[in-house]
Chains A and B, each alone.
Chain A
């Protein structure tokens, strides 16, 4: 195999350095460096996915060190999906951030380092290496959240840092326990060694508990989600879209990887508390996340709580561990990333266009910003799970998987969550398309508009800082959310060998 897996991790680091150094001489070069790097990254990721999704999973030894001693990178369907997702979403958000986001070279440099951390988490097959990439992801995410103006984003960044570091530290403690029990850190090696030590050993059980709870913090499962709404709401629009769509997604991937590759489904069978821990957290997150989302008046906070609920679905799929639920999990991770990223971008577009960030500001948006409202509506319906959007297929496979496993209670909670999702998106749809825009705001908006007096031009690219790239990124997300549904059967068959290995 070529050196592609390692190159994918190194490329954004090089891009970040080039961006930082070029910034000394040419202050406006950052965006071009980042765009070129991410275009290369997308090409590499697609080639990587061709490897990972065609046949049996493989691996790559970093620096040719013998595998249990050196660091291993995994090439399989799940890691390939994550690498492509990270590269594509990063490029899409970058197109949006050209006009909207913080624009210094240091910002683009940090942005590329975050891509490095996420890609590294996706491909690594070493438990300690995972911790290092987890912290790279965390550090850059804290910095990006704090990159907004004003004190609010700095406070959100610090809160995220304190809670996020706690999660990563618990993960490290869990890895420490696993190391004490087995003397190895390679994931494949750990799974056999842990089985040899015996799943009844308190060391192994404590390791599972610490690792899972540590990653729950990073994924933002219900009682440990407190950092997340503040971070998403306090960050600049492009950053919250990027972080909301990728950081929790890749952390959830890490959770799946650790639970299935390191601890294996046999551990879940053998240890009485393991499966209930996952299932109960999932159910509580699904319900409480949705209920809190309904209670929010600020759009970005509502979307943030919606994530708490959606990742409950992912953990629910993980807790039943059968092939159908795992396919659903993968589809939902990808679909949620596209839809949630798109929703945050659309919210940013609306805030730039009409200056509204709360639910009440969405009155009559359908006539004021038709494109943004249509994209927002399509993404919201996709999130609820209306076919043919990808949101439907993820939920469908997960529900069928839970029913196959006989987890009736969990399946009914998931179905209930669809209603709750509808509850918080339907009131927005109603406001956008069936209400008149308040007269006062419309007049004010017209007064500020550059182009002309009538409201039809409200969505024109030249209008009030809304750039073509911003509109294009939102539309691309909406089209992807609807179009990806058609690719699900092909994706399922490509994922089959990976799922088989994960469940064996």
Chain B
């Protein structure tokens, strides 16, 4: 059990981040912290995919002799996913600025309370 965890330390950390992120999105009342949680969650997925690119004993496509090479494809994918994540964060923060202007608070429960009254 311990061996497996040490062997796959990347994956353990990745899923730890997923858990922390999910907990922040669901449990935190502050809207900005929810968005931070979303970022942590996505970072967990990014780490998981990047870690999967490191395959022992594999070789790069252009060089024939075996050595410590890394698959480039997941890195490219994650680059795209990071761009998506940045745009999402920008939209989310923009919306939060509007919500703050409208309600004067960043707490999700207070905003929901005001919304019920409408």
A172 to B84 Cα, complex, angstroms: 12
A219 to B64 Cα, complex, angstroms: 46
B25 pairs with A162, CB closer than 8 A = yes
Instruction: Say yes or no: is A104 at the interface (Cβ < 8 Å to chain B).
Output: no
Instruction: Say yes or no: is B12 at the interface (Cβ < 8 Å to chain A).
Output: no
Determine how close the nearest CB of chain B comes to the CB of A402; give it in whole angstroms: 35
- Chain B interface, number of residues (Cβ within 8 angstroms): 35
B99 pairs with A154, CB closer than 8 A = yes
Contact with A along B62-80 (1 / 0, CB 8 A): 0000000001011001001
Residues of B with C-beta under 8 A to A158? 31, 92, 95-96, 99
A421 to B88 Cα, complex, angstroms: 36
Chain B residue at minimal CB-CB distance from A129: B80
A473 to B19 Cα, complex, angstroms: 46
Chain A residue at minimal CB-CB distance from B98: A154
Chain A residue at minimal CB-CB distance from B118: A152
Contact with B along A198-215 (1 / 0, CB 8 A): 000000000000000000
Q: CB within 8 A of B95: which of A128, A132, A146?
A: A146
B102 pairs with A151, CB closer than 8 A = yes
Instruction: Say yes or no: is A334 at the interface (Cβ < 8 Å to chain B).
Output: no
Q: CB within 8 A of B115: which of A128, A131, A155, A179?
A: A155
Which of A135-143, A236-244, A341-349, A368-376 is near enough to bind chain B? A135-143
B81 pairs with A161, CB closer than 8 A = no
B34 pairs with A146, CB closer than 8 A = no
A161 pairs with B88, CB closer than 8 A = yes
A179 pairs with B74, CB closer than 8 A = yes
A146 to B90 Cα, complex, angstroms: 14
Instruction: Say yes or no: is B20 at the interface (Cβ < 8 Å to chain A).
Output: no
A151 pairs with B91, CB closer than 8 A = no
Residues of B with C-beta under 8 A to A151? 98-99, 102-103, 111, 114-115
Residues of B with C-beta under 8 A to A183? 71
Residues of B with C-beta under 8 A to A131? 81
Residues of B with C-beta under 8 A to A154? 95, 98-99, 102
Determine how close the nearest CB of chain B comes to the CB of A494; give it in whole angstroms: 35
Q: A128-B77, A162-B25, A180-B52 are in contact. Are A142 and B115 (CB under 8 A)?
A: no
Residues of B with C-beta under 8 A to A161? 88, 91-92, 95
Instruction: Say yes or no: is A272 at the interface (Cβ < 8 Å to chain B).
Output: no
B48 pairs with A162, CB closer than 8 A = no
A173 to B102 Cα, complex, angstroms: 36
Residues of B with C-beta under 8 A to A180? 52
Query: Which residues of B24-49 are within 8 A (CB) of A?
Result: 25, 31, 34-35, 38, 41-42, 45, 48-49
A179 pairs with B87, CB closer than 8 A = no
B84 pairs with A132, CB closer than 8 A = yes
Residues of A with C-beta under 8 A to B91? 139, 142-143, 161
Query: Which residues of A102-153 are within 8 A (CB) of B?
Result: 128, 131-132, 135, 138-139, 142-143, 146, 150-152
Residues of B with C-beta under 8 A to A132? 80, 84
A176 pairs with B102, CB closer than 8 A = no
Determine how close the nearest CB of chain A comes to the CB of B75; give it in whole angstroms: 12
A146 pairs with B98, CB closer than 8 A = yes
Q: A152-B115, A176-B48, A176-B49 are in contact. Are A165 and B99 (CB under 8 A)?
A: no
Residues of A with C-beta under 8 A to B81? 131, 172
Chain B residue at minimal CB-CB distance from A145: B95
Query: Which residues of A179-193 are within 8 A (CB) of B?
Result: 179-180, 183, 185
A155 pairs with B45, CB closer than 8 A = no
Chain B residue at minimal CB-CB distance from A132: B80
A442 to B38 Cα, complex, angstroms: 49
Query: Which residues of B2-18 are within 8 A (CB) of A?
Result: 18
Chain A residue at minimal CB-CB distance from B21: A169
Chain B residue at minimal CB-CB distance from A164: B88
Instruction: Say yes or no: is A166 at the interface (Cβ < 8 Å to chain B).
Output: yes
Residues of B with C-beta under 8 A to A15? none
Residues of B with C-beta under 8 A to A176? 45, 48-49, 52
A sample of 29 inter-chain contacts (CB < 8 A) reads A132-B80, A143-B91, A146-B98, A150-B102, A151-B103, A151-B111, A152-B115, A154-B95, A155-B115, A157-B95, A158-B31, A158-B96, A158-B99, A161-B95, A162-B34, A162-B35, A165-B42, A166-B22, A166-B25, A166-B41, A169-B42, A172-B49, A173-B18, A173-B45, A176-B45, A176-B52, A179-B49, A179-B52, A185-B73
A155-B115, A176-B52 known; 19 other A-B pairs, CB under 8 Å?
A131-B81, A132-B84, A138-B88, A139-B88, A142-B95, A146-B95, A151-B99, A151-B114, A158-B99, A161-B88, A161-B95, A165-B38, A165-B42, A166-B25, A179-B52, A179-B73, A179-B74, A180-B52, A185-B73
Closest 9 CB pairs of A and B: A151-B102, A154-B98, A158-B95, A135-B84, A180-B52, A176-B49, A154-B99, A173-B45, A154-B95
